[in-house]
């Protein structure tokens, strides 16, 4: 009992925990306050054409069922899909792609979501709390990994704050996969960095069972392995890397059973308008029409900035000879862009943690640091409000 108490005390007093907790609490409090205000906003006599006349807003926290309204405000877009899968399971019918189906969403998060909701008897807020816990653990792991990579502790502090304050980081507190995927991918990297290959493969397999992007970890782990064991490459521990693609195999078998198509999770992407294109085409499409700031669910300007930032950070990591981090970053932007559109690039950016390592290095300049913090926090507040008010541009 004493040893457990000592371990908990050391964990709570560690620099990684303190830094992660500070970034977590500051940003989650901001998001919570904005959600509270937005979900309790009413407009007296709303006008047909928004902005053409004075609006008469009423915000009151006296309204009943506050928790229920907060929960309902979260259940849009992917959050609604994951909640339905957790509650009802996947659709059992022959594969077809004329409309969207739940097969596009991988199973690990909804499985954990369902287990947690069985304990609480409630879904939306349970999913939010579960994601928030995963996010805090991910921030702690990321801070530790950055220090282990021989960066300064101040770099690690900046990286976790930048990540927590990223303009769309409210997704880390919604019932979606971002927090779990970030935790698993960082844990896989950290385990590989510490030469724990079976653990790295296990985390990688779980990441692949969370999002298809988890498969990006396979070439990255191979690079890590080569760097550490090039003189004795062919060892039994090399088989641990096969756990990464193995993570998605049970879902493929299950999909074959319920739809007749083991690759239904890929083939159904056509129902969302995704098809293979040259990855620079969406970039060029925005450059050709830069004044089209937003189109429906696609906040094109912000997604373009994020895509550009990922490319720049990937190249910086290549220059610094951080091969594994660079490959992971570039794969994380090239593959999504090959799916036709810029939409959702912000969400791909926020789970690509090497980006925040590069930003933290740039943040060694006081001016750059304060600029990043100010811009991120302002945009986080704005985007959170837009999401809570159900603007599509903040939901993708």
pLDDT digit string (tens) for 118-169? 999 899 899 999 999 999 999 999 999 999 999 999 999 999 999 999 999 9
- The Cα diameter of the chain in Å comes to 74
Determine which of 95-99, 184-188, 250-254 has the lowest per-residue pLDDT on average. 95-99
Quote the CA–CA distance of 127 and 356 in Å, as a whole number: 26
At residue 317, does pLDDT exceed 90?
Answer: yes
At residue 208, does pLDDT exceed 80?
Answer: yes
Mean pLDDT of the 25-32 span: 96
Indicate the domain borders of the chain: 273-364
Condensed to tens digits (0 to 9), the pLDDT of residues 212-223 reads: 999 999 999 999
pLDDT at 53: 74
pLDDT at 7: 57
User: Tokens 């008469």 correspond to what residue?
Assistant: 56
Q: Does residue 381 or residue 10 have the better pLDDT?
A: 381
At residue 340, does pLDDT exceed 80?
Answer: no
Instruction: Assign 330 a pLDDT band (cuts: 50, 70, 90).
Output: very high
At residue 8, does pLDDT exceed 70?
Answer: no
Q: Are 23 and 165 contacting, i.e. CB atoms less than 8 angstroms apart?
A: yes
User: Where do the DSSP E strands lie in the chain?
Assistant: 41-44, 56-59
For the chain, how many residues are written?
396
pLDDT at 85: 96
Mean pLDDT across the chain, nearest whole number?
90
Quote the CA–CA distance of 221 and 300 in Å, as a whole number: 32
pLDDT at 262: 96
Condensed to tens digits (0 to 9), the pLDDT of residues 36-82 reads: 888 877 777 777 776 677 777 777 777 777 777 777 778 888 999 99
CA distances (Å), 149 to each of 172, 180, 279, in order? 25, 22, 31
The secondary element (H helix, E strand) that includes residue 73 is helix 66-74
Condensed to tens digits (0 to 9), the pLDDT of residues 349-359 reads: 999 999 999 99
What is the phi/psi pair of residue 59, to 5°? -120, 120
Let me know the angle formed at the C-alpha of 104 by 103 and 110, rounded to the nearest 5 degrees. 75
Quote the CA–CA distance of 126 and 175 in Å, as a whole number: 8
pLDDT at 2: 54
pLDDT at 80: 92
pLDDT at 28: 96
CA 391 vs. chain centroid, Å, equals: 19
């Amino acid at each position: 009992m004493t040893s457990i108490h000592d371990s908990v005390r050391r964990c709570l007093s560690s620099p990684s925990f303190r830094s992660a907790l500070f970034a977590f609490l500051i940003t989650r409090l901001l998001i919570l306050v904005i959600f509270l205000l937005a979900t309790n906003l009413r407009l007296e006599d709303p006008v047909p054409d928004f902005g053409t006349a004075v609006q008469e807003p009423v915000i009151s926290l006296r309204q009943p069922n506050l928790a229920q309204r907060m929960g309902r405000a979260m259940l849009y877009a992917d959050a609604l899909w994951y909640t339905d899968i957790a509650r009802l399971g996947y659709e059992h019918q022959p594969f077809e792609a004329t409309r969207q189906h739940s097969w596009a969403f991988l199973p690990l998060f909804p499985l954990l979501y369902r287990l947690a909701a069985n304990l609480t008897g409630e879904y939306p807020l349970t999913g939010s709390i579960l994601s928030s816990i995963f996010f805090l653990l991910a921030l702690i792991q990321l801070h530790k990994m950055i220090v282990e990579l021989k960066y300064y502790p101040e770099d690690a502090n900046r990286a976790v704050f930048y990540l927590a304050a990223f303009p769309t980081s409210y997704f880390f507190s919604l019932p979606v996969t971002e927090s779990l995927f970030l935790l698993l991918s960082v844990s896989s990297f950290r385990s590989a960095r510490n030469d724990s290959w079976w653990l790295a493969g296990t985390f990688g397999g779980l990441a692949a069972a969370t999002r298809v992007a988890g498969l990006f970890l396979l070439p990255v782990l191979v690079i890590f392995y080569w760097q550490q064991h090039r003189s004795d490459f062919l060892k039994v521990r090399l088989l641990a890397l096969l756990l990464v693609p193995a993570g998605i195999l049970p879902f493929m078998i299950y999909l074959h059973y319920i739809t007749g198509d083991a690759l239904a999770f890929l083939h159904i992407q056509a129902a969302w308008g995704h098809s293979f294109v040259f990855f620079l085409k969406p970039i060029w499409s925005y450059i050709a029409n830069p004044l089209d700031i937003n189109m429906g669910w696609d906040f094109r300007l912000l997604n373009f900035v994020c895509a550009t930032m990922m490319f720049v950070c990937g190249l910086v990591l290549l220059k610094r000879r951080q091969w594994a981090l660079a490959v992971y970053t570039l794969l994380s932007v090239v593959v999504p862009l090959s799916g036709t559109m810029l939409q959702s690039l912000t969400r791909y950016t926020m789970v690509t943690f090497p980006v925040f390592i590069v930003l933290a290095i740039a943040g060694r300049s006081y001016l750059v640091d304060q600029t990043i913090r100010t811009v991120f926090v302002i945009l986080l507040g704005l985007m959170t409000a837009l999401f809570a008010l159900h603007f599509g541009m903040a939901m993708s």
